[in-house]
Amino acid sequence: MATSPQEDQNEVQNIAADFHVPRIPYNEDTIVNIISDIYRVYLQLNYISDWEVAWAPEEGHAINQGLCEELHINPVVISLMKRLPYLRFSGIAADIEFIYPYSRAFVYLEDYEIRGGRDPDRFSYEEPRPSCLLPQEIALTCSIDEGIHVILDTKDNTIRVWSFDESPPGDDIENYRNYYPHHAPTYLASYLQQVRSLEIIPSVSRETRKLYNKHYPELYAKIKKVLQEQYGWPYDFQEAAWKAASKVTWKRIDLGDPDYETDNDDELEPEVLANGKDDYSFYLWH
């Protein structure tokens, strides 16, 4: 009898859990580099725009360290928060599926996000619990519409995937710490490889920021073929040509209309940068 992908994954995890090897310790550079590469691939594929990304300056982002200390966040986590790339502000991040399925990135440049990140399961709809996560943990992403929270433990160098659809094993279904502790660099690198191999393809639409895979067979298969065969992904990728044609190409395939025409320019950039984050939603929908 054929097994489901989730059953296969569970079997692999069970085998791995019984095979104990010493894990290399947490390395901040490794985590920053892999997450930065995810942003870079999203930029290449025109999922996000250059102006939407806030890269850390050499001295690190100027986050609210006092608030972090008030929330008893470990200095190792604070250091990581200062070095990660972010989407420019939370209004952008809330609209972009960053990790499949249905998970958006936190933006720790903002106090609201720092507080919310201590309880990714509640912050979007009720007052977050400041001590929900352990001091050495950081929520890299949180769920959008019944998705996942990706929790990094800097002490153990692990990631737990807190899922809406699947409760943790054991009797205490409220304890996210009972989820399987993935090796953090392996988990992030595996996700990066899924995007690089086009197992996951990000949309180029600025109105619907989502990630596509084989569960969208008609659109996914055609976009994958166009990226590989017409634009040379990944080894001979014609990035400028793809960015120039990506929106109209995607729309033509989505609508099944080879004559469809649209503007490929990112019309949001000048207005948002001029008017700031408070006007982002207005410019997105008007």
Secondary element (H or E) of residue 142? strand 137-143
**Residue 232: is its pLDDT beyond 90?**
yes
Tokens standing for residue 281? 């939603």
User: Confidence class of residue 262 from pLDDT cuts 50, 70 and 90?
Assistant: low
**Domain range summary for the chain, segments of one domain joined by +:** 23-196
What pLDDT, in 10s, does the model give residues 124-169? 778 888 889 999 999 999 998 889 999 999 999 999 999 887 877 8
**Residue 9: is its pLDDT beyond 90?**
no
Nearest residue to 73 (alpha-carbon basis) of 149, 9, 135, 140: 135
For the chain, the average pLDDT equals 88
| Cβ contact 71:116 at 8 Å | no
User: What is the predicted pLDDT for the residue at 8?
Assistant: 61
pLDDT top residue among 23 and 56: 56
Q: Where are the extended beta strands (E) located within 46-115?
A: 53-54, 86-87, 103-105
What is the Cα–Cα distance from 98 to 105, expressed in whole angstroms? 6
Helices vs strands, H then E, count in the chain: 11, 9
Secondary element (H or E) of residue 159? strand 158-163
User: Confidence class of residue 271 from pLDDT cuts 50, 70 and 90?
Assistant: low
Burial of 45 (0-12, 13-18, 19+ CB in 10 A): buried
